[in-house]
Amino acid sequence: MDALRIAEAVNAGALDPAEVVAEHRARIEAQDRRIHAFLTLNPAAEEEARAVARRVAAGERPPLAGVPFAVKDNLVTRGVRTTAGSRVLENFVPPYTATAVDRLRAAGAVLLGKTNLDEFAMGSSTEHSAFGPTRNPWDLKRVPGGSSGGSAAAVAAGMVPLALGSDTGGSIRQPAAYTGVLGFKPTYGRVSRYGLIAYASSLDVVGPFARSVGDLAAAMEAIAGRDPKDATSLEAAPAFTEALDRPVQGLRVAWVRETLGPGTDPGVREALERFAGVLEDLGLTVGEVGLPELEYALAAYYLVATSEASSNLARYDGTLYGARAPGEELVAAMKATRARYFGAEVKRRIFMGTFALSSGYYQAYYGRALRARAAIARAFERAFADYDLLLTPTAPTPAFRLGEKLADPLSMYLTDVNTVAANLAGLPALSLPAGFSRGLPVGVQLLGPPLADERLLAVARAYERAAGGVFRRPPPPPQG
């Protein structure tokens, strides 16, 4: 059952939230030994479910009553271990909870557990977790994408109907495409970042995964809106569920020419063409647009993101919280802590960012990246003067094999080539299943102008109704 059907049944008294939690726990026990989507289960989940039952018995009708959900393990949760996929926070139990998690609970949802991720959200495959990789439910020899691969895999495998992830350069959308689910990156500021362990603060966004557009909209309605604890959060949030039934006829959509390069898998290209055909059948106008500035998006992204990461991760030095390497002398202990407890990819990005910010290189690298970022935002602004939405493949290929790109970081970075620009410009972007290539799911990406989040969901709902056959679930993983 999807999230909205569970909530409807719980509010009608036909389902007990504790039974719903128990059923999903049983699915996790049956499947996660092979998939490894979860790092920590919430020991208080049953207690939370009973609290929801009491709210319903008292006459409340929470919109997500009894719905189990999972949270990427870089969103802090009071009393539940939060690791960010890193040994440096392996035993960290936060004293407070992220706003997005609190808001889902306020809507009646029940936290089931914390999901695996690339360490500090730095990666595109969930292979950079200090606790081992997550596997793709469609093919256990392949990655689920990253960095929110654990959340995507948990939703794809039916272990939870909803999950939260974070998206710095595609970390929700790319794993959604690889695992055949929906993944939504809202407009920057639409969802509070309070309680999100920072990677790159000007790029990070919290967003949901789901298996249906209705569930995605319900999750967004719960978590979006102004938060006084986050100065970058936006005041107004639309009624996302009401927006699903808005007419989409007459909307103008354009393919982005530069995102269909020679490295695009033929099956991905075919899925995009079929998707565009469905949109035309629904009454949308489909054209084509060139955005040559996107040539600089990946380089600009990795300079901006690593520069901010080198600053944000300076706090993990063994003096305040987290693991600390032995040593009496302060500087030596700091160096030993970071050398021992950070993984190779985190170290690589800290080195890159520190170099880009260093004296003599700041303007040559970080300054030029900021200028490229501004040029990309202006290019999108020009495109949205003529079109309501833009269309791209989410990723150039389906999911790659575990270990295939670990020895070639640049090849790994290129999997984000179609997603990073939305973060640089602060745009809303949605990945939705569009078919299969060689038996593996592929996704397409819709991008809108800032604050047009609900427009993306309305088009996705129309597509879901017209071509629901692509919203399939993977077979259960083999036993043994």
Residues carrying an active site annotation = 72, 147, 171
Sheet holding 182-185, edge to edge: 38-41, 110-115, 68-72, 162-167, 205-210, 182-185, 429-437, 440-447, 389-393, 252-256, 285-289
Cα angle 150, 201, 229 (rounded to 5 degrees) comes to 95
Q: Which residues pair with 154 in a beta bridge?
A: none
Cα separation of 162 and 111, whole Å? Answer: 10
Q: Which amino acid is at 182?
A: L
Q: DSSP strand E in 126-204: where? A: 162-167, 182-185
Contact call for residues 225 and 239 (beta carbons, < 8 A): no
Cα separation of 8 and 335, whole Å? Answer: 53
Q: Is 43 exposed, middle or buried (0-12, 13-18, 19+ CB in 10 A)?
A: exposed
- Residue 367 is given by DSSP the state I
Nearest partner of 40 among 97, 101, 137, 116, judged by Cα:
116
Which parts of 12-122 fold into alpha helices (H)?
A: 17-35, 45-57, 99-106
Cα separation of 256 and 258, whole Å? Answer: 6
User: Strand, helix or coil at 166?
Assistant: strand
Nearest partner of 422 among 203, 201, 163, 243, judged by Cα:
203
User: Strand, helix or coil at 446?
Assistant: strand
79-95 burial string, b = 16+ CB within 10 Å, else e?
ebbbbbbbbbbbebebe
Nearest partner of 120 among 406, 346, 337, 366, judged by Cα:
346
Cα separation of 318 and 342, whole Å? Answer: 12
